[in-house]
Amino acid sequence: MKKAASTKKPFFNRELSWLEFNQRVLDEASNPDVPLLERLKFLAITASNLAEFFMVRVGGLYLLQQHRIAKRDPSGLTPRKRLKAVSDRAHSMVAEQYRLYNEVLETGLSRAGIVRVAPSAMTNEQKVSAERFFLNEIVPVVTPMAVYEDQVFPLLVNVRMNLIVRLAPERAGMSERFAVIPLVGGLPRFVSMPSNDEWSFALIEDVAGMFIDRLFPGETVLECTPFIITRNADLEVRDEFAQDLLSEMEDILRARAKSDTVRLEAGQGMSRSAQAFLKRVLGISSEQVYELGGPPALNDFMQIALRDGFDRLRYETWLPQHSPQIDQQAGMFENIADRNILLHHPYESFDPVLRLIQEAAEDPHVLAIKQILYRTSSRSPVVAALTRAARNGKHVAVIVELKARFDEARNIDWARRMEEAGVQVIYGVRGFKTHAKLCLIVRKEPAKGIERYVHFGTGNYNEATARLYTDISFLTCDPDLGTAAAAFFNAITGYSQPVQYARLYAAPIAMRARLLELIEGEMVRARQGQKSRIRAKVNSLVDPDIINALYRASDAGVRIELIVRGMCCLMPGVKGLSEKISVVSIIDRFLEHSRIFCFSAGGDDTVLISSADWMPRNLDRRCELMVEINDAAAKARLIEILDSGLNDTVKGKWLQPDGMYLPAAPGKLRKGRRSQQGLYESACRAIDRQIQAQRTVFKPHRPS
């Protein structure tokens, strides 16, 4: 008789799991097979990721500690122990970042003609150029501020570089004095220098430091070192109590600007006295100080990675392909009426989604457009089309999620502009973030009457990130899905209660229950000796209920294969618990962002796409959508995408029971299979086949 499993199942800690995800990104920066500027890009991403991690996750932990909340997380750690573990791991990661930058990337860039010029290595011509820049560009805009321990410390901008200047005492026996100089946002980080190289530059902080005494005439400057503070951004509006959500969100943005410091990045060579002074005035401990081994703000180096030229140091460009499902000569309504369309971005262009909304804005048969916007680009063509549609007399209703973290200010601006154009703007749902990706277009057609055209997506309506993130778009005029989409939208905007929709599952109402039901179904089939298998692709797997259900399914004999890009709290491959579960993470040139689920259902696969990850926040505290795909061709393609990732032996790394990620074991899978490259080549072949087929068909021009 099988021994009963313990009711307390093991979980990985989510913060440490996230840091291991960032390590996998850093591994790409370390990979000599990756082109040099792509490696620099990955390094910049790790720095940007860490900044957001400290603002949100670490900031939240400090709040728990300040309120003396000692509740353990599913991994069994208290907030205090989580902070200690995070600090140890993050310090190690930062040290590795700078070893990589100093020993590999800066050297490689210099050999390739991209040369950072240190002050000590400048020629006379470069010193003159640096001095001119200092006097003409820096001096007019910076403001040195004397700082004292017994006075209020100046309000420094979150994650922006500053200089701390240490001055000699006024008289013998007195203490050293300090001043702070914020390097304002309008200054370039990289200052071009005259050189025979392809491009030479000095860092703004180095140029400022060379001539800093000009800002303190008559004083002896002992030190000038850059530093950056990271503030807690884990502040959210309690919108169930907010009378004016837009005003409340603006208050939150102001509160973030002066919230507590959670991290101090101390520039290379900062003296102990300067560091001690900053710790005292910022009210932080030693574990919150990160001594940098090189230039601060490595995320700024993305500017160099994206600089024009130097294409030899980058990946060959993969241009998004036109989908062979779409007739470029026909309108989008005609295309969708002809067939369901599934697009895989960025291998296939996002343009059809933009075209659909833009054509709807001008089409005289379109009566209404309803859309959810979570994140958009800075010059969003979607917002422009919605605004144009409203001015053309169509009913346009848009849910703008003001609580989209770090995009709040942009969304507030878009909301106001659309309201001015006559768009009916709804600021999400009280108590929840609206994260679903949905566009519904109502069209009155002469032959059919009212038709609903729907776009369901796994990613945002952002044409810029649609070239960088892998996501799914499903375009359909399926009557059941159209009716369900309309009912879901009305439930959000009105007082109607959410109901069960046909093939559409909404969080926080039905999505969790449906996922658990599907997992339970595979478990039952496995126990009955039937075919059972679960394949899923998510960004994060954190939810304890889902993880425990997967553990039970594995114990029942279900084969479970997961693609989890980021955090994964599930422990795979543990004897007696998760022996049948494997987890792979793929870090490559595109950010894996799509959510696809496939349950074998005894051989008749149930396939779904979703806006939601398997996390409590998505399943319980957000309005999300999960769509069951019945179209045979679309289902087959989604399964192909899943299988491609599960067989990636080049960029895939498999999670081990101890939390480490390792490449595929030799011989386990066919060598040399890189999923993103294979998917792009497949998209290229598909359009090539279409072009070739068109060449063999003669179409006569007929009189109009």
Angle at 598 between CA 592 and CA 600, to 5 degrees: 155
Q: How far apart are CA 598 and CA 644, in angstroms?
A: 14
Closest to 494 in 3D by CA, of 430, 414, 422: 430
Rounded distance between C-alpha atoms, residue 316 and residue 388, angstroms: 37
Catalytic positions: 435
Helix-strand-coil split of the chain, %, nearest 5: 40, 20, 40
What stretches of 426-560 show up as alpha helix (H) in DSSP? 479-493, 511-527, 544-556
In order of 436, 553, 593, the CA distances from 609 in angstroms are: 11, 21, 11
Output the CA torsion sign for 631, 637, 641, 644: positive
**Dist. CA 615–CA 621, nearest whole Å:** 10
The whole-angstrom separation of Cα 628 and Cα 356 is 22
Separate counts of helices (H) and strands (E) for the chain: 20, 27
β pairing state of 199-203 and 114-116? parallel
Rg of the chain over Cα atoms, rounded to whole angstroms, equals 28
What residues pair up with 456 in beta bridges, in sequence order? 438, 474
Q: Please state whether the peptide bond connecting residue 508 to the residue before it is cis, i.e. omega within 30 degrees of 0.
A: yes
Cα 371 from Cα 387, distance rounded (Å): 12
Beta strands in 305-405 (DSSP E): 341-345, 366-373, 395-400
| Residues contacting residue 190 through CB under 8 Å, at least 6 positions apart | 201, 202, 203, 204, 300, 303, 304
Residues 378, 401: Cα–Cα separation, whole Å: 15
Closest Cα to residue 415, out of 441, 380, 442? 380
Q: What are the residues whose beta carbons fall under 8 Å from the beta carbon of 666, sequence distance 6 or more?
A: none
Please give the backbone phi and psi of residue 223, each rounded to the nearest 5 degrees, phi first. -165, 145
Helix axis angle for 511-527 and 544-556, nearest 10°, is 10
The residue length of the chain stands at 704
**Residue pointed to by tokens 């210099």:** 110
Residue 613 DSSP SS3: coil
In order of 137, 161, 299, 377, the CA distances from 186 in angstroms are 10, 12, 17, 21
Give, in order, the Cα–Cα distances in Å from 100 to each of 216, 433, 602, 663.
36, 39, 49, 21
Cα torsion angle, 64, 68, 70, 71, sign: negative
Residues 6+ positions from 341 with CB-CB distance below 8 Å: 323, 325, 326, 335, 352, 473, 474, 475, 476
> Count of alpha carbons within 13 Å of 701, Cβ hemisphere only?
1
Q: Are 245 and 228 in contact (CB under 8 A)?
A: no
Q: How many CB atoms lie within 10 A of CB 141?
A: 12
* C-beta of residue 233 within 8 angstroms of C-beta of residue 56: yes
Token pair for 330: 């026909």
SS (H, E, C) 110-156: HHCCEEECCHHHCCHHHHHHHHHHHHHHHCCCCCCEEECCCCCCCCC
